[in-house]
Structure 1
Amino acid sequence: MANENGRPRDTRIDSAVLDAAAELLAEVGYADLTVAAIADRAGTSRPAVYRRWPTKAHLVHEAAFRDSVTDEPPRTGVLDADIRELVRTTAELLSTPLARLAVPGLIAEAATDPTLHARLLERFAAEGWSGTDEYVRAGVESGQIRAGVDAVALIEVVIGAALVAMLVRGADGLTDAWVDRTTALVLGGIRR
């Protein structure tokens, strides 16, 4: 990636900053994490960090989810199996150790930062689970899914269920049994 001046950006700094952010997030938590500490750990400067990420929250978002795959999950064409996989992968994504530390702070900051809010939506709606809208449309056409089901609302329900379950049960509560029960509830709401 190149900056506006045309000089290529040093990707080693990007990687060092993301690594440092992840390490420090695990060590001190979101509230006590500072960009200064991240820059020091990465061996760079605060301005170098802010050139890449406008706020701590943007940086934490990238560090916590950088290795996460939120692409279109494989589809089997079997509604029960496909929805279960959507629920399972969402639970897995949100219950990683870094996500558990980052998500509460990111949610709080996204409420007041429109650019962070947009980036989170982009990851989890546009980039993440892409193809879900087409899958829902095909399911309606085949008679498996009732008309009027909105793909974005479906994803929101699954993400919301996983987030609340993590708060109530802890990350260890998102078991296979939880995935099965949540899948059954989701299917009950979308099945024709």
Structure 2
Amino acid sequence: MVSKTGRMRDTTIDDRVLAVAARQLAESGYDALSVQRVASDAGTTRQAIYRRWATKAALAEAAVTAVAEVAPPELDDAEPFEALVRELTDFRSGVSRPGRMALVGTMLQEGTDDDVRDRYAVGVVAPRRRRIRDILERGQREGAIPVDADLEIIVPMATGSFYGRALAGDPIPERWPERTAAVIWRAAGGDRR
């Protein structure tokens, strides 16, 4: 792609900048996010960043969106309990990548821009919860879970134990996805021995 000045535009800048911005958000939080440092670490200039993202908040939103753009696991062929195990395995894998838990903490900081926090909630948290709820609702339709199960409470519990253990500094136990899925299934009133 050629820029307005007639130079070839470096198409790799976006990916480099977003990766560095996401890392900085995770390591230092939103308040400490520095466009100058992002530019330096990504091997570009502040001007190149500001041509793409007009503000620090816009850059942070784009970085959070890039983190969210990971394809969910294929669950169509799995029975609901197995689908729940796969979803929780995918969750553990994603949140265990370097910087991901710290990024969760960044979203909880008071100084984090509301638009950035909202983008994270919409792009990362809501899709995961929606997939877990869809799995449990499929279990209800198939008669594996009672229709009166309190999914409003149960759905956040599915990932909450991971966050709770991480916050307390407790190691994640062996077979966390399978064990958590079994607890969630029983909490929803399903029979899982």
After TM superposition, the score normalised by the length of structure 2 is 0.69
- In structure 2, relative to structure 1, the CA distance for the partners of 1:124 and 1:157 (3 Å cut) is farther
- Partner Cα distance (2:149, 2:178) in 1: 21
* Deviations, residues 82-131 of structure 1 (Å, cap 9, x unaligned): 22222221122111112033221122258x64322321222235544655
- In structure 2, relative to structure 1, the CA distance for the partners of 1:151 and 1:89 (3 Å cut) is farther
- In structure 2, relative to structure 1, the CA distance for the partners of 1:125 and 1:106 (3 Å cut) is closer
- Partner Cα distance (2:75, 2:55) in 1: 33
DSSP 3-state at the match of 1:123: helix
- Partner Cα distance (1:164, 1:151) in 2: 19
| Residue in 2 that maps onto 1:119 | 119
Shift of 1:13: 2.8
Q: How does 1:1-192 map to 2 (within 5 A)?
A: 11-22=11-22, 29-31=27-29, 32-42=32-42, 43-45=44-46, 47-48=50-51, 50-51=53-54, 54=57, 57-62=60-65, 65=67, 68-69=70-71, 71=72, 73-109=74-110, 113-128=113-128, 131-149=131-149, 153-169=153-169, 173-192=171-190
Larger radius of gyration: 2
Q: Percent identity at matched positions?
A: 20
Task: Assess if the C-alpha contact under 8 Å between 1:136 and 1:145 holds in 2.
Answer: yes
Q: In terms of mean alpha carbon deviation, does 142-151 or 85-94 score higher?
A: 142-151
DSSP 3-state at the match of 2:109: helix
- Partner Cα distance (2:52, 2:10) in 1: 12
- In structure 2, relative to structure 1, the CA distance for the partners of 1:48 and 1:162 (3 Å cut) is farther
DSSP 3-state at the match of 1:47: helix
- Partner Cα distance (2:10, 2:152) in 1: 36
After TM superposition, the score normalised by the length of structure 1 is 0.70
Which consecutive unaligned segments of at least 5 residues does structure 2 have? 1-8
Q: In terms of mean alpha carbon deviation, does 88-97 or 156-165 score higher?
A: 156-165
* Deviations, residues 132-185 of structure 1 (Å, cap 9, x unaligned): 444333321221122144666544222222211222245xx2343333332221
- The structure carrying a bigger helix percent of its residues is 1
